[in-house]
Amino acid sequence: MASLVKQHSSYYTQFYNPNRIPSRKRIALRTKYKDIALRKHIELEKAYESGEFDPWSTHQEPENPLSKNSRLGDVLTYYITQKSREDWRDRTAQDTTYVLRAFERVVGSEKPISCLCANDFNDYINREGIAYATRHSDRTKLKPFAKWCVTHKLLRMNLSDVKVYNFQQEQKEVVSYLTHSEVATLKQVIRDKVDADIARGYQSKSRNALWLIDLIDWQRWSGMRISETLSLTPRSFNTESWDITIGSATFTTKSKRKQVLPIGGVKPLRELAERLLYECSTLDSPLFGHTDSKRTSRTFKKYVRLALPEREDIHLHSLRHTCCIELLRNGVPIYTVQRWMRHSSVQTTQNYADLLNSDVGEQVGKVLENYFVTIL
């Protein structure tokens, strides 16, 4: 008999047998995520029932097969396998594995892990011809690997030395967002392009890119990640309270927990949801007709380049940034914005607020001007 126990944000499998001493035995599952803990718990239960595992015997973690002399290729394989099993989402595993394997090809899979240094990481991250945003993204995947190696005493290195260089005075801040006028321009270009393509026969009235306008509005009002939006179906909506449940049997959120977004008080978002739900043919139909994030990203980028050719930094995630920036700019309290954006820490939200420092003088000036006019 076994049960899943949570204590101090960590999960354990607790076995019970009145004929053993002690009668209860806990095994640490080494995760703070319930779905991962539940999977490990079931595996231990099955192993116990089949006699393959005895929690009362001296329980030891599987021995780490790696050493300082291990090849980089072997260490990466072990790291990717462990992280994929423990806490990476499928998309995270796919994207991170791609970067790590590319790093392996550049550095050499035969290189001993203990011979790696910060320059190896920096040379790959800051390779020629790579945009700052890409370098920043690669660093977020490589630095955790370096930290893991240091933690497991495979590597000695100062993690703060792994840096993204700012070439040619590039904008260091990677938060890109759209202004109201840019959003209006983008939507108008989409309408004009679709009308022209329909006239030429390239698009049809029943099948065209106008759905992208609804997606743009949804993203900039809801602040959802594109993967979350494309996972939505009518089952995700409670049409009585107008709460959206993000996360399902087929989609795992970034935090690995189901999350709720209350849109009942957000009139434009609720009205858009009502219309989109009406157009869904079944309860399992995707809200926007498909779940292909790459296709959506390519289509969005195509129209951004037509409407705003100078804004090459804009991508789908910029609409999430736009939502956060606009809420803060219009005076919504930072903790309310944090809850709406579902940031794990208010410091993440503060990073967006810091971008608005340039607006402080203008905002204070308007308030004081109105104050003095009222007095006079």
Q: What is the pLDDT of residue 167?
A: 61
Q: Please give the single-letter amino acid code of residue 159.
A: L
Q: Which residue has the tokens 């390239």?
A: 202
DSSP state of 112: B
Structure tokens at 230: 């494309």
Tens-level pLDDT at each residue, the chain (376 residues): 789 988 877 888 999 888 888 888 888 887 777 877 888 888 888 888 888 888 888 555 555 678 889 999 999 999 998 888 777 877 888 999 999 999 999 999 999 999 999 999 999 999 888 877 788 889 999 999 999 999 999 999 999 999 888 665 444 456 789 999 999 999 999 999 999 999 999 999 989 999 999 999 999 999 999 999 999 999 999 999 999 999 887 787 877 788 999 999 999 999 999 999 999 999 999 999 988 988 999 999 999 999 999 998 899 999 999 999 999 999 899 999 999 999 988 988 998 888 776 555 665 666 566 655 555 5
For the chain, give the number of residues: 376
Half-sphere exposure of 63 (CA within 13 A, CB side): 2
Are the C-beta atoms of residues 115 and 127 closer than 8 Å to each other? Answer: no
The CA distances from residue 352 to 151, 327, 334, in Å, are 32, 10, 10
Q: How far is Cα 199 from Cα 105, in angstroms, rounded to an integer?
A: 49
What's the pTM? 0.63
Residue 153 Ramachandran class (φ > 0 left, ψ -120 to 50 alpha, else beta): left
Q: How far is Cα 303 from Cα 193, in angstroms, rounded to an integer?
A: 9
Q: How many CB atoms lie within 10 A of CB 325?
A: 21
Question: Helix, strand or coil for residue 206?
Answer: coil
Q: How far is Cα 156 from Cα 149, in angstroms, rounded to an integer?
A: 8
Question: In a 10 Å sphere around its CB, with 0-12 CB exposed, 13-18 middle and 19+ buried, how is residue 323 labelled?
Answer: buried
Structure tokens at 286: 């995707």
Q: What is the pLDDT of residue 319?
A: 96
The CA distances from residue 6 to 18, 247, 248, in Å, are 22, 22, 22
Q: Where are the domains of the chain?
A: 2-49, 72-169, 194-359
Structure tokens at 372: 């003095």
For domain 194-359, give its CATH number from 1.10.443.10, 3.30.70.100, 3.40.640.10, 2.40.50.140. Answer: 1.10.443.10
Torsion of CA 322, 328, 333, 335, to 10 degrees: 40
What are the helix (H) ranges across the chain?
A: 34-49, 72-86, 90-107, 118-125, 132-151, 180-200, 211-222, 226-230, 267-279, 293-307, 318-329, 334-341, 346-355, 360-375
Q: How many CB atoms lie within 10 A of CB 342?
A: 19
| CATH of segment(s) 72-169 | 1.10.150
Q: Please give the single-letter amino acid code of residue 189.
A: V
User: Given this chain, do its domains 72-169 and 194-359 carry the same CATH topology?
Assistant: no
Q: How many CB atoms lie within 10 A of CB 258?
A: 13
Q: How far is Cα 325 from Cα 329, in angstroms, rounded to an integer?
A: 6
Q: Please give the single-letter amino acid code of residue 167.
A: F
Q: What is the pLDDT of residue 373?
A: 55
DSSP secondary structure letters along 118-159: HHHHHHHHT-TT--HHHHHHHHHHHHHHHHHHHHTTS----G
Q: How far is Cα 27 from Cα 90, in angstroms, rounded to an integer?
A: 26
DSSP state of 356: G
Q: What is the pLDDT of residue 301?
A: 94
Q: What is the pLDDT of residue 18?
A: 86
Q: How far is Cα 231 from Cα 238, in angstroms, rounded to an integer?
A: 16
Q: What is the pLDDT of residue 171?
A: 44
Nearest to 301 by CA among 315, 322, 317: 315
Are the C-beta atoms of residues 111 and 72 closer than 8 Å to each other? Answer: yes
